[in-house]
Amino acid sequence: MSDAHDRVAAAAGQLTAAGIARVESFAWRDLGDPEAGGSELHADQILQRWAAAGIEVVHRTSIPRRGGVTETIERSGYTVVRQGGRFDVFARVILRNLLRRTPSDTAILEIWNGVPFLSPLWAGHRRVVWVHHLHRNMWADVLPQPLAAAARVFEARIAPLAYRRTRIATLSVSSAAELRDVGLRSLKVIPPGIGARFEPDESRRSASPSVVIVGRLAPVKRQQKALEALERARLHVPDLRVELIGDGPDREQIERWIDDHDAAGWVARRGFVADEALVEAYQRAWLVVSASKAEGWGMSLTEAAACGTPAVATDIAGHRGSVIHGATGLLVDGPEAIAAATVELLGDHAWRLEMGAAGIEHAAGFGWDDVAARHLELLAAAVIGTPVDDPEL
């Protein structure tokens, strides 16, 4: 049994000794949602390990389609309860918990993904909050004005007032710095894990220049911007090929761009792929590219690193933890700079090999058992009332 596995069991024992037998978590979406992404994968990996340690876990989220009734699903040892739509789920949770007292044997996990559940108003001290990153300019991609401006003000100025005494976990030091900027103080940095299946296999490496782009096709991810940059890179590397992996609301727009730019010959649209195919895509690629404008952590970048594949990515909070600039990849000022960095790395085989080896070493430090243990230790500390110092902050 691993040390991290033992730590999960020990933290679960602390909760039991403190009278906690159950954890209720609240999130916008769960892993089974058609638009699920890294945040949902992160929650699933942790909750299933908590459940395996003997904690009853109930994960409450929205229903991914309109008109649905309450759905209850058993997944990997924990229970998912879907109730409410995309937007009214927040009001439902807040009203439900304001009108009832949280049972004394229940601790609360709130996953604040843009819109908060305001758990400080109804959950007492037996709780922690996960905030992967601030959404800031992302609001303009999903809401019309003036709603986008109002959401940004609420997220950055109003909601933080309620969370000043809350223990908050975030994914990277750079994301923690953003959270400090809006007044949040009790912060713990816990990077996400990487599945053991992500490993190098040089026998699969493409014989010709190949780039992979992985993620939900959504405005914040800016896959079209990445493709525009790679189209420019092909002026210098004409045999460059791209694999585009993922699905989401921007799919039609991106497919239209590919057709309009006669790019079908060099862009392979894979859509959503199974885990084995994803690993093989990382192993084939010479580089992984991300033009995202906001991330809590670049999960595709560390997954690729574990497979020995360097990154070219935008220099944003979240990417700064998943990529070590100059060592495991290159961080650039914006999507416009991706082309030059891609050409530079594709043209330097020795540097790519050096970065690939550094990436494997960097990724080896992230395991899901350790992540689950650290999060459960944070929750136990909140319940018991012991301080938690983070030497990284």
Return the CATH number at 176. 3.40.50.2000
Average pLDDT over residues 283-304: 95
pTM (2 d.p.): 0.87
Which range of residues forms the domain containing residue 352? 202-363
Give one DSSP letter per residue of 258-270, joined into a string.
Answer: HHHTT-TTTEEEE
For the stretch 55-71, pLDDT in tens is: 999 999 998 776 567 89
For the stretch 245-270, pLDDT in tens is: 999 999 999 999 999 999 999 999 99
**Pair 158, 10 in one domain:** yes
- What pLDDT, on a 0 to 100 scale, did the predictor assign at position 392? 60
Share of the chain above pLDDT 90, in %: 79
For the stretch 34-57, pLDDT in tens is: 888 889 999 999 999 999 999 999
**Pair 53, 170 in one domain:** yes
Q: Which two tokens stand for residue 366?
A: 């992230």
**In whole numbers, what is the pLDDT of the chain averaged over residues?**
93
Q: Given CA atoms 173, 175, 177, 180 in this order, what sign does their dihedral have?
A: negative
User: Residue 130: enclosing H or E segment and its boundaries?
Assistant: strand 127-131
For residues 295 and 318, the answer to whether their CB atoms sit within 8 Å is yes
Q: Which two tokens stand for residue 180?
A: 């400090």
For residues 202 and 191, the answer to whether their CB atoms sit within 8 Å is no
**Pair 377, 357 in one domain:** no
Amino acid at 128: V
**Pair 58, 151 in one domain:** yes
**Pair 36, 68 in one domain:** yes
- CA-only gyration radius of the chain, Å: 21
- Please state the domain count of the chain: 2
For the stretch 153-205, pLDDT in tens is: 999 999 999 999 899 999 999 899 999 999 998 999 999 999 999 999 999 99
**Pair 36, 137 in one domain:** yes
Average pLDDT over residues 348-376: 96
Residue 107 confidence class, pLDDT cut points 50, 70, 90: very high
Residue 393 confidence class, pLDDT cut points 50, 70, 90: low
**Pair 143, 157 in one domain:** yes
Cα angle value 110/113/118 (rounded, 5°): 45
- What pLDDT, on a 0 to 100 scale, did the predictor assign at position 389? 64
**Pair 346, 240 in one domain:** yes
- What pLDDT, on a 0 to 100 scale, did the predictor assign at position 37? 84
Nearest to 165 by CA among 135, 120, 222, 122: 120
> For residue 240, is pLDDT > 70?
yes
For residues 313 and 298, the answer to whether their CB atoms sit within 8 Å is yes
- What pLDDT, on a 0 to 100 scale, did the predictor assign at position 68? 62
Q: Is residue 232 part of a domain?
A: yes
**Pair 251, 123 in one domain:** no
Q: Is residue 390 part of a domain?
A: no
Q: Is residue 247 part of a domain?
A: yes
Q: Is residue 391 part of a domain?
A: no
DSSP assignment letter at 40: H
**Pair 72, 53 in one domain:** yes
> For residue 97, is pLDDT > 80?
yes
Q: Which two tokens stand for residue 359?
A: 């990436």
CA distance 229 to 160: 37
Q: Is residue 128 part of a domain?
A: yes
**Pair 157, 18 in one domain:** yes
Q: Given CA atoms 356, 362, 363, 364 in this order, what sign does their dihedral have?
A: positive
Q: Is residue 159 part of a domain?
A: yes
Q: Is residue 84 part of a domain?
A: yes
**Pair 208, 177 in one domain:** no
Average pLDDT over residues 319-332: 96
- What pLDDT, on a 0 to 100 scale, did the predictor assign at position 140? 81
Q: Is residue 336 part of a domain?
A: yes
